[in-house]
Amino acid sequence: MKVIEAVVFDLDGVLIDSEHVWDEVREQLARERGGRWHKRAQADMMGMSSTEWSRYMHNVIGLSDSPEEINAEVVLRMLEQYAVHLPLIEGAGEAVERLAGSFRLALASSSNRPLIDAVLARAGLTDLFEATVSSEEVLRGKPAPDVFLEAARRLDVAPALCAAVEDSENGIRAAHAAGMRVIVIPNRRYPPPPDALAVAGVTLDSLGELSPEMIVDPT
């Protein structure tokens, strides 16, 4: 059996309950600026890098602003939301601290770098992660494996010796494609479909169940 050396966390939906915040911010911007928002927009953009979703907002939703302007405005509004209230998921800090004593930790997120840094700083978790990667720092966003592979590279740990903690369909597929053991805590607002859950090593109900023993032996 391969010995797991590192754990790579997703951010949105795993440590912070933010998917609906992204949804609200982008929908509000679209409606303010005459975009064509539709009910599949959030699901389509979940896991995309900032380059990808801002281009989607421009090309598909129909905002006249450039993708760069859209990205900057959305990030600004997200930071403002987090400054008022940081929606950490219950048990997030404790789960990270539990695993930090047994594994090297990294974070692989579709969030922009300023958002990653702001969340970890406000949650007091920055020093527990040896490496953090935003999908804006790699070629492709999730479900491509790039962000997970980059996290493993920065840790200098083979992907096969990493476990990934994810919540969404695109994240699960990205971690699986990277060759990592996938531990899923399904997103309650946007649950992953059964075929995505099927590639997971184990599915948990909450962060409270995430322990070093579960990482080593998910059975």
Among residues of the chain, what percentage have pLDDT more than 90? 86
Q: How far is CA 39 from the centre of its chain?
A: 21
The pLDDT of 188-192, averaged and rounded, is: 88
105/107 Cα distance (integer angstroms): 7
- The DSSP element (H or E) to which 162 belongs, if any, is strand 162-166
Residue 66: which residues within 8 A CB-CB, separation 6 or more?
58
pLDDT, tens only, 109-168: 999 999 999 999 999 999 999 999 999 999 999 999 999 999 999 999 999 999 999 999
Closest CA to 48 of 21, 71, 17: 71
**All structural domains of the chain:** 6-17+88-216 (3.40.50.1000), 19-84 (1.10.150)
pLDDT, tens only, 28-51: 999 999 999 998 898 889 878 899
For residue 194, count other CB atoms closer than 10 A to its CB. Answer: 7
What pTM value is reported for the model?
A: 0.92
Closest CA to 210 of 99, 120, 118, 76: 99
